[in-house]
Chains A and B, each alone.
Chain A
Amino acid sequence: MPAAPRSGRYSVFAIAREALRHHSGWTRAWADPAPRDRYKVIVVGAGGHGLATAYYLGKNFGITDVAVIEKGWLGGGNTGRNTTIIRSNYLQDPSAAIYEKSRSLYETLSQDLNYNIMFSPRGLIMLAQTEHEIRGYKRTVYANNLQGVSTEWLDPQQLKAKVPILNLDGPRYPVLGGLYQARGGTARHDAVAWGYARACSDMGMHIIQNCEVTGVRTEGGQVRGVTTSKGEIGCDKLAIVVAGHSSQLAEMAGFRLPIESVALQALVSEPIKPCMDVVVMANTVHGYLSQSDKGEMVIGGGTDGFNNFTQRGSWQHVEETVRALIETFPMLSRLKMLRQWGGIVDMTGDRSPILSTTPVGGIFVNCGWGTGGFKAIPGSGWAMAELVAKGTPGPLAEGFGLNRFREGRFIDESVAAGVAH
């Protein structure tokens, strides 16, 4: 394979230049190479987390002999299926640290990658609709202020001013207040994957799509490489970053993970005029809502309770989610829904991620982000790159090791964040 062509820098001058020559000069954003026999690091999974891991391996540690292997197409898993919400208002210190690192990286990611990821810190509200939620979110606000994460408590009238379409006195779940993170928001999910992919390719890394890993080769408790649908590929280090299929990759390597895979689904309405310029999450009724730049209302719902790999949603969850949301947002009741889809999320018992070494030398896992992985992509990649490069976790990742399950040292966000995590 010839060396990957550099994709050229995007700028207003490039747009002007290309406008004058009928856009004939744009090159593809990332190369499509055949795999080499061997790489220093193989990252399995070219979603946001895998690509971010590769990017920060190159950027922070100078490791560019990296292949990112993907069984489908780049960003076609949960990276392309989420509701694009970015926030860092977590209760526990290790969570707040890694999610806030992630959120702060999102602030400058477009400049870092020279790729517009359309980060929109439009503000994010978590509604409190029960007395328990009031206490829970006030506690989270106090914790966030100690952690250096800027959040505040808003009363119902302040919420109504920010979200005029909100119905405060729903008969079943009235809005009693809310947690507000002003620098939370959304980003363009595909652009995050594409931007990282382009930057990785420019560093000389290989992104190999349509290449399914079918086996992991180990020797004396040390990883030697992977067997793929495009042949054997050797490596010194292997990073497994595959979300819903983490258990399957771990099984190939000979160990189990404390993960169960379930379907999470979302739906999107027909586009309407701008009516809501913040993200609103209603965790009691299991629904969250934002308006995309195209005008569609993007709605996320709850997960299935049973193991599921089908990437399909279920009608009963659509009904549950929509039924709950139209009480809090009555104007949604007249909207037609355009699309509905599902993704397979990897749930851990404490609803916190796993960034860890494994029983096999040279294999590292990054999984367990469950229903909230998109917001964590840059921070997760940052921490995972450090883990892979040094072989031991840095300060961001050290709380998220696999040993916490044996030692009973959970980072328990399941109570703090409920389902909409």
Chain B
Amino acid sequence: MLTLTCPCCGIRAEETELHPGGEAHLVRIGPEGDDAAFESYLFARRNVKGVHFERWRHAYGCGKWFLAARCTATLQVFGTYSAQTTHPPAEIVDAIRAARPDWTPDWTSDWTTP
């Protein structure tokens, strides 16, 4: 069973206490976005087999949204972090690299950089 620590209230919660919210760090398309960008924002998910950043809500706890880094192929959890960020913080990246040496962050390509 998947267990995540809510970074908002600090409680270790298992998956029945949490509500999954899909891929994290999606860049919202503004009024200037074209059809392709809007389609991509709504539907074209990475659906990564491996390191995945995703949104969760501590639904039966503090009720707050947070983000998690998790491997979709093994269900290994690398860490959870605040949702108030545009990309994963350094300690999450370090934790992932410690477990997956060949993994490289790719948010220079189409994620916003701070």
Which A residues lie at the B interface, using CB under 8 A? 245, 247-248, 256-261, 304-310, 314-316, 349, 405-406
Contacts and interface: CB of A to CB of B under 8 A. Distances in A.
B19 A305 contact: yes
B39 interface: yes
A77 to B, nearest CB: 14
5 A-B pairs closest in CB distance = A258-B43, A247-B47, A306-B20, A256-B44, A305-B20
Contacts of A258: 43-45
Contact of B74 (A306, A310, A314): A310
Contact of A259 (B20, B45, B54, B70): B45
Contacts of B39: 405-406
A256 B45 contact: yes
Contacts of A260: 22, 45, 47
Interface residues of B, number: 28
A314 B54 contact: no
18 contacts: A247-B48, A247-B49, A248-B47, A257-B47, A258-B44, A261-B49, A304-B20, A306-B15, A306-B54, A307-B23, A307-B54, A307-B72, A309-B72, A310-B72, A314-B15, A316-B1, A349-B43, A406-B35
B90 interface: no
B1 A315 contact: yes
Contacts of A314: 1-2, 15
A310 B75 contact: yes
Decide if the interface of chain A is mainly helix, strand, loop or mixed: loop
A259 B49 CA distance: 12
A405 B1 contact: no
Interface in B1-28: 1-2, 14-16, 19-20, 22-23
Contacts of A306: 2, 15, 20, 54, 70
Contacts of A406: 35-36, 39
A326 B38 CA distance: 45
A261 B54 CA distance: 14
Interface in B27-79: 35-36, 39-40, 42-49, 52, 54, 70, 72-75
B48 A307 contact: yes
Nearest to B44: A256
